[in-house]
Structure 1
Amino acid sequence: MSQAEGPRVLPVPPGRSGCPINMTAELLGDRWSLVVLRDIMFGDRRRFRELLGQSMEGIASNILASRLAKLVGAGMLTRHDDPRHRQRVEYRLTEASIQLVPVFAQLGAWGTRWLPTSPELSVRASVLAEGGPRLWDQFMDELRATHLAGESPVADGVLAGLTAAYEQVADEGGPE
């Protein structure tokens, strides 16, 4: 196993049972963990202030700090000090988080189908669902390059396409 792959099993406390669905729900099933991962993954927000200030759901600072610490402790995020600024920290996805892309795609597709969602916030889910496993793999490779290898985001990659689709629908729905 290469260092980029990370641990085989995440460092989490034992769950109520060994059921994989239960264990996943115990790790990610609170109100905010998936939202924080979503914002890092799809919003390319990697700093505390970005996550706090650009949260559509209005996460409180103490809750954000708690979730970031929980996700770092569980091996879902890594924390990197900025050498240029002592108080600035960057959070990056780990391989375990990157492999949630198909889960996010399916959750988004299900939510778009069954829940009263907004068009501009549903378009990325629709694009991901329609793109299927090939697009998910491309996006995961892009996230690996950005979060694991520290490369700059790809200007014309999957994330850029998802962002462009969001902006197009948001502009169409705005005031005329």
Structure 2
Amino acid sequence: MEKIDYEKIEKAVTMILEAVGEDPDREGLIETPKRVAKMYAEMFEGIGKDPKDYFKTVFNENHDEVVIVKDIAFHSMCEHHLVPFFGHAHVAYIPRDGVVAGLSKLARAVETTARRPQLQERITSTVADSIMEMLNPLGVYVIIEAEHMCMTMRGIKKPGAKTVTAVARGIYEHDDVKRSEILSLIKMS
């Protein structure tokens, strides 16, 4: 990612505070523009990073059954309203010829993809496509469940409503038995 322009973010936040009728010089808001700039640098640290990079190092473990990492907590920012959404991702794949990635790499791919202005649907497909391209597995299945603050805090105002997106690649696209197996594994506690 290119260098964050903290000063520009601070000016923009000051302007927003003024635009909504606040006094950016009052005690509680004096440091807010700086805090927001630091927060945005952290929340958007995935900009310019490619989740495929996490799958450049692989191992041959002669494992040919499903690998799943579930309940990967993440947070992102809705690109339509710049408010958070957060939830859990479940990532599964069936290795081809025993080629596997480190388990943490699945979580890192989710995290990197989420850390930018984003859509849930895009996170789901980007993670699945990155694994398919780099590991060439028999199949990939990614499910993301998230609560969107743009639905909780504004608009329809439905706290607790969850959005679920799923992407099936390879064998999971057409094999109902394999797809059912993954869904049952994800539901297990």
Greater strand percent: which structure?
2
Structure number with higher helix proportion? 1
TM-score normalized by the length of structure 1: 0.28
TM-score by length of 2: 0.26
